[in-house]
């Protein structure tokens, strides 16, 4: 089956620890995205990558880092510098640069205490 996988589904961390969220796709899509979703708010773009070894900051990149070493993978690291890391994190991909056809993974719910 083609699709996007995110792991784990739930993640718990202590404040001050860095944590890495996994995102893998086998759709052969060029572009990948990371969003954050908080209750009552729309999805907010953290980082995006249109090709391997290249990525750009989105609207709320502070406290996050990414890498894009392989076309299939786009991991997100939530660092201790992120002030409010508890949220639902969503990874998406799209063919080419067609941001209008974004396919989402199931999400990772991160709780930091």
CB 72 within 8 Å of CB 3: no
2 binds another protein (CB under 8 A): no
Binding region for another protein (CB under 8 A) out of 14-22, 40-48, 70-78, 79-87: 40-48
Between residue 42 and residue 61, which ones bind another protein under the rule CB under 8 A? 42-45, 48, 50, 56, 58
CA 58 to CA 71: how far, in whole Å?
A: 19
Figure out which of the listed residues 40, 54, 83, 84 binds another protein, where binding follows CB under 8 A.
40
Stated as kind and residue range, the H or E segment containing 48 is strand 44-51
The dihedral built from the CA positions of residue 75, 6, 103 and 17, taken in this order, carries a sign that is negative
Binding region for another protein (CB under 8 A) out of 14-22, 60-68, 76-84, 85-93: 85-93
CA 45 to CA 7: how far, in whole Å?
A: 19
12 binds another protein (CB under 8 A): no
107 binds another protein (CB under 8 A): yes
Give the residue with the Cβ less far from another protein, 63 or 107: 107
Binding region for another protein (CB under 8 A) out of 11-19, 61-69, 74-82, 91-99: 91-99
Task: Name 50's Cβ contacts closer than 8 Å, sequence gap at least 6.
Answer: 30, 31, 56, 97
């Amino acid at each position: 089956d083609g699709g996007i996988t995110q792991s784990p589904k739930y993640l718990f961390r202590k404040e001050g620890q860095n944590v890495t969220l996994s995102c893998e796709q086998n759709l052969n899509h060029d572009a990948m995205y990371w969003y954050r979703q908080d209750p009552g708010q729309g999805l907010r773009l953290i980082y995006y990558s249109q090709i391997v070894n290249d990525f750009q900051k989105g609207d709320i990149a502070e406290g996050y880092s990414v890498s894009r070493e392989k076309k299939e993978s786009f991991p997100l690291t939530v660092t201790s510098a992120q002030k409010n890391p508890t949220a639902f994190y969503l990874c998406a991909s799209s063919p080419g640069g067609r941001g209008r056809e974004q396919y989402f993974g199931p999400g990772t719910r991160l709780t930091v205490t």
